[in-house]
Amino acid sequence: MSEQGNEVAGPTPVRTRDRGEIIGQGGLWLAKWSLVLASISIGALIFGWLVEKLWVIVLPVALAIVLATVMWPPTREMVKRGLPPAAAAGITLLLSIGVLAGVIAGIIPSVVGQAPELANKTTEGINQVQDWLQGPPLNLQDDQIDNAIHSVVAKVQESGTAIASGVFSGVSTAGSLLVTLGLVLVLSFFFIKDGPRFIPWLHAVGGGKAGRHLEEVLTRMWDTLGGFIRTQALVSLIDAVFIGAGLLILGVPLAPVLAILTFIGGFIPIVGAFVAGALAVLVALVANGLTTAIIVLIIILLVQQIEGNVLQPVLQSKSMKLHAVIVLLAVAAGSSLYGIIGAFLAVPVAAVAAVVIRYIGEQIDERATDNEPMPKGDAADLVEQSENGANTAGDQKA
């Protein structure tokens, strides 16, 4: 072979980029995304401001949607059996009100009947604690104990106003509890009666592409919210039954009331269970003594462990589960902004927001993997780079 045939092409010259050019491109990229994040933050602030100003509307709508997810399955079954939607929605709503009224009527006599005895037990417990503090090894004086008690009472009184305002902060803006409750019931009726018509209407209004995304996201939101509420209700009911049975067996006063508080607290994950459990242990300690309180604490911890390790993984799908940190942050943010109502709605809102984030991620992944035709200039550059890489590899082998 001739020398020309054995000649090997030299390496392709590489253009050296200036450091200032690279830094400038990085700065432009950072400035662009900073502007995007700033715009999103401003939009979030404006949205929060609108929610605050329209809280009188947002609160009943949010509560009605939560109730509608619970009442929708029986309504749907009655409609499938030929009952008109209005009649099915009305029957479901009346049955729900009847169950709630029956529960309230059932616990009021228990509270009224056992409250004086519990108050006397509380006084006796405080006297016993005071006698223990005055004896060895603490040997505290009466004035020291009185000062401590006065400080605690003053702190509780100061916190009482804040707690009461926090409980009713979301409702007071609507004018009154009865007005808000009535509006929630009316909205719930129309949601379960006309809900199936809403998404097709919104699809038609939004158009082809936007309507498709809206329909898919709202359908997922509804399924996730409904599954979350129903599953949480079932888990809370199991907790309330077992803890309430333990309290009844041990003879703890106000056991039905504590069981209902346990059921309600289950809708505020982690925080609600802790508060309800602490209250049950406190009542057992005051009314029945230290031994019973320890047994109640063991029962509550056992039930909570079964819930966290067995019930939640079995009854709740992975798509609806939120990390404990997200739950705690959501509950803290909701309670600080809107009190108890905010703590109750925090986890459903976080679950719905997670659905939106997952859907956006799916759309990004779908667009990132689309086999779109490459522009001619980019295709030519890619072919040239491939050829240069193949020649370099051949040279190295040679």
The verdict on residue 155 lying in a domain is no
For residue 43, what pLDDT band results from cuts at 50, 70 and 90?
A: very high
Q: Is residue 38's pLDDT more than 90?
A: yes
Non-local (6+) Cβ contacts of 359 within 8 A are 213, 216, 217, 220
Q: What is the DSSP string of 141-187?
A: -HHHHHHHHHHHHHHHHHHHHHHHHHHHHHHHTTS-HHHHHHHHHHH
The verdict on residue 138 lying in a domain is no
* d(C-alpha 282, C-alpha 294), whole Å: 10
The verdict on residue 3 lying in a domain is no
Q: Is residue 350's pLDDT more than 80?
A: yes
Residue type present at position 26: G
Q: Is residue 172's pLDDT more than 80?
A: no
pLDDT tens profile 236-285? 888 888 888 888 898 888 788 888 888 887 777 666 777 788 888 888 88
The verdict on residue 394 lying in a domain is no
Query: Domain range for residue 216?
Result: 207-369
Percent of the chain predicted with pLDDT > 70: 68
The verdict on residue 49 lying in a domain is no
The verdict on residue 246 lying in a domain is yes
* d(C-alpha 93, C-alpha 208), whole Å: 35
Please say whether the beta carbons of 275 and 291 come within 8 A: no
The verdict on residue 60 lying in a domain is no
Rounded to two decimals, the pTM is 0.66
Q: Give the Å distances, CA to CA, from 174 to 117, 145, 152, 186.
A: 37, 44, 34, 15
Q: What is the pLDDT of residue 238?
A: 85
pLDDT tens profile 92-149? 999 988 888 887 777 777 667 766 766 666 666 666 666 666 666 666 666 666 666 6
The verdict on residue 336 lying in a domain is yes
User: Domains in the chain: how many in total?
Assistant: 1
